[in-house]
Amino acid sequence: MSKEKLIVALDVNNRAEAMSLVKELAGVTDFFKVGMELFYSEGVGIVREIAAAGAKVFLDLKLHDIPNTVGRAARVLVRSGASIINVHAAGGGAMMRAAGDSAREEAAKLGLPAPAVVAVTVLTSIDSNAFTREMGYTGAIEDRVRTWALLARESGLDGVVCSPREIKMVRKACGPDFKIITPGIRPAGSDLNDQRRVMTPGEAIKAGASQIVIGRPVTGAPDRCAAAAAILAELSGA
């Protein structure tokens, strides 16, 4: 089982902590997620430093704006060396298409590998009550995820980010080559924290996830390397 199946979320807000985690886990996994907190604190330099250390970066900024703005932002993010960047599917097909096209064009222009561009669907912190009462959507969460996943594929994106509960449905709708990145992963016995629609690592891979994202169960563990290694062992048996 490839180490790239596991993406460890660097949910910290400074370079020192982030690079300490990258170095500590380097022998176990080599894929890390940089989210808003770390990126807004340290800027694009942290992505470049992680990449220079030999690791890969999922840059999780959930771009959501008019197509021109998102396309231009995608071009800038390509230069960071991130292996995956994302947008929010709620921005629509034209916006997603602008992100994917711009990222590929910029990578070709610079002679760099094109990052995978994926679309976030419904956040894993959202339950059915929030989805309907607070956000005003009708129907089930699963239906919205399926609609956005199909739109992402039609818009030329490489995949989506969805909760574990939608993996099988997205895989069936979008095919075997569509990337499915899954947060909301909690090893058996872990605290749910602010996640709602969750699965264990092995369940997610069996359901058809391409990669899983795990933060606190690894980064908050007394022995982080052991925690990551245990997750990878579970994935190998899935």
Binding site members for substrate: 11, 33, 60-69, 124, 186, 195, 215-216
Catalytic residue among 5, 30, 56, 60: 60
Catalytic residue among 3, 62, 168, 206: 62
**Residue ranges of the binding site:** 11, 33, 60-69, 124, 186, 195, 215-216
Catalytic residue among 3, 65, 101, 206: 65
Clarify whether 65 is annotated catalytic.
Answer: yes
3-state secondary structure labels for all residues of the chain: CCHHHEEEECCCCCHHHHHHHHHHHCCCCCEEEECHHHHHHHCHHHHHHHHHCCCEEEEEEEECCCHHHHHHHHHHHHCCCCCEEEEEHHHCHHHHHHHHHHHHHHHHHHCCCCCEEEEECCCCCCCHHHHHHHCCCCCCHHHHHHHHHHHHHHCCCCEEECCHHHHHHHHHHHCCCCEEEECCECCCCCCCCCCCCCECHHHHHHHCCCEEEECHHHHCCCCHHHHHHHHHHHHHCC
Clarify whether 177 is annotated catalytic.
Answer: no
Active-site residue numbers? 60, 62, 65
